[in-house]
Amino acid sequence: MMSTAHAPLPAAPCLRIPEGEAPYLEAQRCGACDALYLTPRMACSRCGKRDDFHPQRLADRGTLYSFAIVHRSFPGVETPFISAIVDLEGGGTLKGNLRGIEATPEAVRLGMAVKVVIDDALGRRDKDGHAYLAYFFEPAEEPSA
């Protein structure tokens, strides 16, 4: 039996899990044009500037930009689920599951406020038995106008 006692690993490259602190999301910002990337690049794909990336912590709130309600997926994947595209406050766009809301077109509202929640990766383990952390979206209270 492999040990599962290790600290969970990040399931996405933009997920940071510092020891003894709350996990968070981090992007790489181009120093020349401010474009954001969730994975490292050799140069900025927007402006071409090389080796000028700076870590930028991403906000844990945003709004629902687009979505799909997935009813048919690959074997073993539980459906239905909401595949959501979220624009984060302060920049950056993420794709992930929107949970804590009924998976129907009536319940989901484009533009709705959501928060980012970091949690266990649906119990999925790798071949060595490691647990993972993933990010999810949940409905949030609308910011007061």
Partner 1 sequence: MSDDVYIIGVDMLKFGRFPDRTVPQLGAQAALLALDDAGLEIKAMEALYCGNLYQANAMVGQRLLQEIGQTGIPVVNCANACATGATAFREAWMAVKAGACDLALAVGVEQMGKGLLGGGGAGTGIPKEGLFGGGTMPTVFAEAGMEHSHRYGTTFEQFAKVSVKNHHHSTMNPKAAYQMETPLEMVMNAEMISYPNTKLMCSVNVDGAAAAVLTSGKKVRELGLGKRAVKVRASALTSDPWQERDLVMPDVNSCTRLAAEKAFSLAGLGPEDLDLVELHDCFATAELLHYENLGLCGDGEAGRLIDDGETALGGRIPVNVSGGLLSKGHPLGATGIANIYEVSTHLRGEAGRRQVKDARIGLTHVIGLGSACAIHVLEKSDL
Considering only 58, 116, 118, 134, the residue that binds partner 1 (CB under 8 A) is: 134
C-alpha 134/C-alpha 15 separation (Å) is 8
Closest CB 52 distance from partner 1, rounded Å: 16
Segment holding 118, helix H or strand E = strand 113-125
Choosing among Zn ion, partner 1, none, which partner's interface includes residue 2 (Cβ < 5 to 8 Å by kind)? none
Among the listed ranges 17-25, 52-60, 79-87, the one in contact with partner 1 (CB under 8 A) is: 79-87
Respond yes or no on whether the N-terminal peptide bond of residue 80 is cis (omega within 30° of 0): yes
* 53 interacts with partner 1 by CB under 8 A: no
Both structure tokens of 2: 């492999």
Question: By the 8 A CB rule, do 31 and 51 touch?
Answer: no
Q: CB burial class (10 A; 0-12, 13-18, 19+) of residue 19?
A: exposed
Choosing among Zn ion, partner 1, none, which partner's interface includes residue 118 (Cβ < 5 to 8 Å by kind)? none
49 vs 61 by CB, closer to Zn ion:
49
Report the Cα 105 to chain-centroid distance in Å: 22
- Binding interface with partner 1 (CB under 8 A): 9, 11-12, 35-38, 45-46, 65-74, 77-79, 81-85, 87, 93-97, 105, 110-111, 121-122, 124-126, 130, 132, 134-135
